[in-house]
């Protein structure tokens, strides 16, 4: 991921934290979440001379890429085992 991509993703994520902070993503329709993100996506569309739809697609691609990288980092740190050996007690 390039520095520009990281900045792009960061702008949306920072905005999302502010406007979606109290929203439970499991209980809120995706369309409602996207509507709340529309202002930042419109701003980025103008800034990057893209359509709002292209901003959304780029955001989804970058978020997916960041998620994969984060998961790989986690697995590298904690191993491939899906369970963690934590003491219960």
CB 41 within 8 A of CB 12: yes
Confidence of residue 85 (pLDDT cuts 50, 70, 90): low
The stretch 51-80 carries a mean pLDDT of 89
User: pTM for the whole thing?
Assistant: 0.75
Contacts of 58 (CB under 8 A, 6+ apart): 8, 50
Is the confidence at residue 57, as pLDDT, over 90?
yes
What are the respective helix, strand and coil percentages of the chain, to the nearest 5? Answer: 70, 0, 30
DSSP string, 45-85: HHHHT--HHHHHHHHHHHHHHHHHHHHHHHHHHH-S-SS--
């Amino acid at each position: 991921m390039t520095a520009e991509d990281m900045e792009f993703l960061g702008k949306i994520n920072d905005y999302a934290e502010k406007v979606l902070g109290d929203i439970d993503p499991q209980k809120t329709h995706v369309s409602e979440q996207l509507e709340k993100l529309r202002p930042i996506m419109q701003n980025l569309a103008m800034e990057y001379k893209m359509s709002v739809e292209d901003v959304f697609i780029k955001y989804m691609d970058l978020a997916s890429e960041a998620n994969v990288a984060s998961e790989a980092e986690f697995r590298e740190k904690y191993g491939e085992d899906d369970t963690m050996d934590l003491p219960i007690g």
